Structure 1
């Protein structure tokens, strides 16, 4: 047998051989404690996460919280007077009881994050173990009037970030066409089109005619670039962009293109592809993409919304 819970709790419990890593409380004369006038026993303080804690045991149950017929167990944050004004912390914890027959520590998994603050310094289980089960020595929890409880506490470091997505009722789309001639005269590593405006922000096409990174020497690398001066502070733009090389033989022919959805922001002002179009494909006279040493590129930019961030 293991821990047995009321119908309002899960029947799932876990047992392990390793003792709780933060605190153990051994009670040598549990029945004497239960018969005494003490409603509860508060342990000495123990340190976890730069905070001091206590374990509280109610041997006859915390009646104010509906714990009759059970052992109640609570975790209390101690010495809160030394904490700064407006303090709060979040923690996860587990309580344990030792099965002396099987040499295992059993707990009721919770894994919920609890918020401790000036108005709530204590969390716990009013119905941790049924007294009928606990007092039955065959279950191993109370042997020779001795028992062991324990606790593990995990304080969550507050590194939360938040963001707010604001979507446009109607996405804002714009198309810009860039004619590059003569393409064979492009000797520099990088070239950029003129600025164009979509959704109140300035954009331009950036190409590396001889490739960049993995595209070096074998491809044209192509990017969409955002002018940071048109970007509000702590804001990212949710954008779908398509960069195309147009078919110059058939106005309605199939262009060569690449489409992606990205967040443009201060850390990512340009997105694109290193191996956008192979040089072999571009220079193939049977292909319609480089005609009379002219290449026509197009950028289609759709702004869906903005994301504002805050720590």
Structure 2
């Protein structure tokens, strides 16, 4: 078996080879050259020379779909650009992650793989691609439904479906002494540690109807519509080698992330927490009638002045 080329990989995933320049894609799709270039950059692809023949029939078909959506008047150019950026950034990480999983599962961890082994990865990918594609669309639709449900839950609290600011619980969970542990582990052991931590956090957050906003190696950021959900997540997550900080208040949702003083306060409280403990702010503590919280001494936190933290514990009852 010969070693697959870049052309082989591109042909498998996006179809026949390049036939068009950027201007030709715009002409065939009905999108202006300027918008086509902006969309291409928003999707995360490099800007190519005007005369570069680098686009396929699939590119034309995709851009034609954008043109059709714009033609309905339901979205404008700026909205299309923002949606393209969300799509590009998310799928780039997804594709990289999935490629790493497949390669890690099929190629030897040490030594150079043979042409036959690399070819086998491509062969298996070709067989699995239709199934993965179908599952991807289903999961995406299901996640849209979950996002809509969360917005409605937030609306019950904030009295609007798409608030500029939303009141919710924000939590950070991080691994204690991660830098020291990273020095003691080899690359594979470190990867297993991080993946295990992120996987467990994602499972726990999802099980309680909340959202894992992002992972940062040794730390995860999650949000929950209610203080009770956040408390249940923290109590299930926390362990001897983990700590959690949480706050409750207004946040600014933007680009799939969350911003604001509440987020900053949750991060600062995490830094105050000892291994195996959960530290929360006064607003979250006051909202937790069914949980045990213990007031501790006031602390100064960078950028926020003096705050009154509480320790969240499992109820003795």
Looking at CA atoms only, which structure, 1 or 2, has the larger radius of gyration? 1
The TM-score, its normalising length taken from structure 2, stands at: 0.18
Higher helix share: 2
The TM-score, its normalising length taken from structure 1, stands at: 0.18
